[in-house]
Each structure stands twice: as structure tokens, then as C-alpha cells.
Amino acid sequence: MNPLAGLLSERLSKAQVVDGFETEPWAVCGRLPQAVVFPESEAQVAEILSLSSEEGWRCVPAGRGSWLHGGQPPQAVDVLLSAKRMSDISEYEPADMFISAQAGAGLDALERRTNEEGQWLAVDPPGGERGTLGAMLAVGTAGPLQAGFGSPRDQVLGATIVSGDGQVLNLGGKVVKNVAGFDLLKLVAGSWGTLGMITSVTMRLYPVPATDRTLLFKESEAADGANLACRLAQTPFPLAAVELLVPGDGESGGGAPSPLVAVRILESTDAVDEAERVVSECAGMPPVQRLGGEQSAAIFDNVRAMEDGAELVLRLSLLPTRLPELIETTSQLRGLYDPSEGWGMRLAGHAQTGVLRVMIAVVGRSDDWVDRAKTTLGVLRRSLEAEGGSLVVSQGPPEIVGAVSAWGALGPAALFTSGIQAALDPAGILNRGTSPQ
């Protein structure tokens, strides 16, 4: 064992620390940690983080490791802490409609357990069910259901984190309405492990809706699809999701890819029938397909999995009515990849929130590929920011993310961001995605 791993295994146990080639699956944006540890309790997490703060070891908290290739690359990784072995469901009272579990609990396990009681976690972040509860909150990304149910930050009731300096902080609670003090829990959602390691989470649950139906509408051009999605998003009915899906260049059998608009309705059966009528009327066409129950859920599982196998994933955003413009801007990205490689470029737009996910299967690597990506993404980011929008590089080759930065400009708010980080991680050991530039 290397000296650092050796010191850690003295504190924990040998079986809880790995180093050398065993750290390979845990590379963070291409950087190998010196040691990977698997704490089994909050107290152990606190011990490792306070020791690391004293020693100046740079740490990255993780769950099962699904998101290690995403976000801003850290300056260095000495210790990676995985919550994998902290996966118990600690409290589940169906009548109170919340579930508390350790951070390493899988979203799949929580889904199974809550479904047994006719309840569910109404979150659908990218990446499907293979991630952990803690990672879902740390990344904080919402999926298509954001419009109907809110993002993870709206549905988390409480969390325990161990801050960078090893303090165990119980934030929030178990009830929806809670204003006892400053809402530090909000800071945890989307913090990418830069404030501390999440050790347990309490989430709000919803009753499984009586009917789950997805209507698929087809257009021939991406621009028409975007216009249709915008129109449907303005239906005054409670639609759970309105998603524009543009398949990759390599997924359309030669011709231009035909976009689909998927409208998901989660209501009582009578209400779903009525919503279907109104939505179809608004679309001016009948759906090409109606999917019920498991099939409806399955198509949205596919939407979550769309980033799988993508080398570069971007999130572009503007106000929802400007989704057609966002679609148009993606033509600027054509120079970054060869459409004949893999499936090319896929698009998925949340029509109610104005977020467009761009997925590129394989980034072209001619001589000046990094510079070209830097210029293209920089120009696009600046033009979106000038219009009140943003561009985030959710994942990509470390060379590109390093060159353009995952996050966009924060302006004067950056002052608060760095202050908050220093408040909870005074030694600056949690350096992943540090202070968006």
C-alpha cells in the first residue's frame, strides 16, 4: 500500500481502503485517486475528512461512481470516499410520505421499496436508476419530470452532510414545511461534493398516479418539433413532462432525423383521457403512438439513458419559449464531431423549463480539436449568457472540460460562492468543480 492508503487503513480497516490498480474504476475526470475508501458510518466519514483537512489531502466524495466523469475536473485527488457501503433505508413511514436512507442507497432499491407501498420518488435525473441517492442530490440535475414535480432540490426534505472540516451537520428534517433557520440544505443540492460528503438523505414521496400515459407526436424537422413542443408546454393542463427528442444522425436510417415530442400525463384515468384530447387538439394532429403504464415509464427511462455512451454532454438553456432558437444553435456544434461515428449527436429538450441536452457520441480528434472545441463552446456560451441563458458542460473529455470550464459565468454572485465554500470547507480539500469561474 502507498503511505497515504496505509495511514487511512490504520484509521479504518484494510478491507475499507484500496490503492494502486484497484483505484482505476474510480478515476475522477481521468485523475486517479491515491486511495479509495469505503466508510461504513458517518463517524468514519467525519474522521477521514477531518484528518484530510489537517493533512491537506484533496478529497472527492462519491457514491457508486456514476458521475465521476462529469462536472469540473478537480485540481488533484488524494482520497476518494465512496458511500457504497452506506446503503440502508433508515426510516420509511408510508403514511408520512417520506423516506430516509443512507447516501449510498441505490435509486433502484428505493424505487422498488416505495412502489411496494404505492408510492414513488418523482425524480428522473439523467443516468437512470443505477446512481445513488446521495449522488442524485449532490449533482442535483433534474430530468423531464421537473416541470410536474420540481427538481431534486424541491423534493429533498433533509440531509446529513459531513462538511469539509469533518463536522456532522443535520440539515432540514422530515417534514415538507420547515423554516427553522437558514436553509443550508438548498446549498447541498447541486454542490457536487464541494461542501461536504452527503451521508443520508430524506426525500418527499408521491402516490403512484392511477394512470401513466405518454403521447408521441412526430414532426419531420427538428425546428417544427421544437415549435410543437413549445406549443404543447403551454397547454393549461398539468402535464408531467413535455420532451422534445431528436435522434442522432446515425439513428435515423440515412435521412434527416425525425424529431418526436413525448408528452407524459400522470393523473387519474378520466383526467388523462381528457388531457389527451386537449393535447391532441393543441398539436393539431393525433399522436403517432400512445404508450400506457410500463411502456410510458420505459420511454422516459430511455430519455434518462440518452447520455449513456456519449463522450460530450452539454446543457444549453434559455427561456422555454426560445427552445426553437436553442435547437438552431446546435448547428454550431457540427464541427465538433463526425456524424458517421457512432450515433452522432442527439438532442433532448425539456420544453417546460427551456433546457436542451446535447449529446455527442464521439468527439472528433483532429490536430486542433481542443482549441476548436474551446472556441466553439466559448462563443456559444457567451451568446447564450448574453441572452440570459447558460451553457454547462455536464461531461466531456477532460481536455475540453479543463479548457472551457464546466460551469458558466456567475458574475458578482461568485463572491458568495467562494465564501460559502470556505465556510464549510475551510481547508479547501473538496476541490471538485470548485467555484464555477
Partner 1 sequence: MENILPEPLTKELRDRLRGVVGDAWVIVDADRLLAYESDGLTAYRRTPRAVVLPRNTDEVSRVLGILSQEAVPVVPRGAGTGLSGGALADGDAVVVGTARMTDLLELDPENRLARVQPGMINAHLTTAAEPFGLYYAPDPSSQSACTLGGNVAENSGGPHCLKYGVTSRYVTGLKVVTYDGKVVDLGGFGREPGGYDLVGVFVGSEGCFGIATEIEVRLLPKSEAVCTLLAIFDRLGDAGSAVTEIMAEGLMPAALEIIDGPTIRAVEASVFAAGFPTDAEAALVVEFDGIEAGLAADVERAVACCREAGAREVRTADSTEERLAFWQGRKKAFGAMGQIASDLLVQDATVPRSQLTGVLGRISEIGARHDLTIANVFHAGDGNLHPNLLFDRSDAEELARVERASKEIMAVCVEAGGTITGEHGVGLDKRHYMSLVHGPEELDAMRRIKAVFDPHGRMNPGKVLPDPPESAGVAV
Residue 321 interacts with partner 1 (CB under 8 A): yes or no: yes
CB of 207 to partner 1, least distance (A): 3
Q: What is the DSSP pairing of strand 241-246 with strand 119-120?
A: unpaired
Burial class (CB in 10 A: 0-12, 13-18, 19+), 44: buried
CB of 302 to partner 1, least distance (A): 23
The one among 49, 187, 201, 377 contacting partner 1 by CB under 8 A = 187
CB contact at 8 A, 204 and 176: yes
The one among 12, 89, 109, 168 contacting partner 1 by CB under 8 A = 168
Q: Which of 145, 166, 147 is nearest to 51 (CA)?
A: 166
Contact segment (CB under 8 A) with partner 1 among 221-229, 303-311, 359-367, 382-390 equals: 382-390
Q: Tell me the C-alpha distance between 282 and 155, whole Å.
A: 31
The one among 1, 206, 290, 403 contacting partner 1 by CB under 8 A = 206
Instruction: Considering the complex, state which of residue 247 and residue 320 has its C-beta at the smaller distance from partner 1.
Output: 320
State which of positions 105-134 bind partner 1 (CB under 8 A): 118
Q: Tell me the C-alpha distance between 385 and 205, whole Å.
A: 35
Q: Tell me the C-alpha distance between 430 and 53, whole Å.
A: 9
Residue 269 interacts with partner 1 (CB under 8 A): yes or no: yes
Q: What cell numbers appear for 96 in the block?
A: 408520512
Q: What cell numbers appear for 243 in the block?
A: 420532451
Instruction: Considering the complex, state which of residue 256 and residue 415 has its C-beta at the smaller distance from partner 1.
Output: 415
Q: Tell me the C-alpha distance between 136 and 99, whole Å.
A: 15
Residue 419 interacts with partner 1 (CB under 8 A): yes or no: yes
CB of 84 to partner 1, least distance (A): 26
Instruction: Considering the complex, state which of residue 113 and residue 130 has its C-beta at the smaller distance from partner 1.
Output: 113
| C-beta atoms surrounding 164 within 10 Å | 28
Residue 97 interacts with partner 1 (CB under 8 A): yes or no: yes
Q: Tell me the C-alpha distance between 270 and 254, whole Å.
A: 41
CA distance from start to end of the chain? 37
CB of 18 to partner 1, least distance (A): 31
Residue 314 interacts with partner 1 (CB under 8 A): yes or no: no
- Supply angle C-alpha 264, 390, 248, rounded to 5: 55
CB of 46 to partner 1, least distance (A): 10
Residue 89 interacts with partner 1 (CB under 8 A): yes or no: no
CB of 173 to partner 1, least distance (A): 5
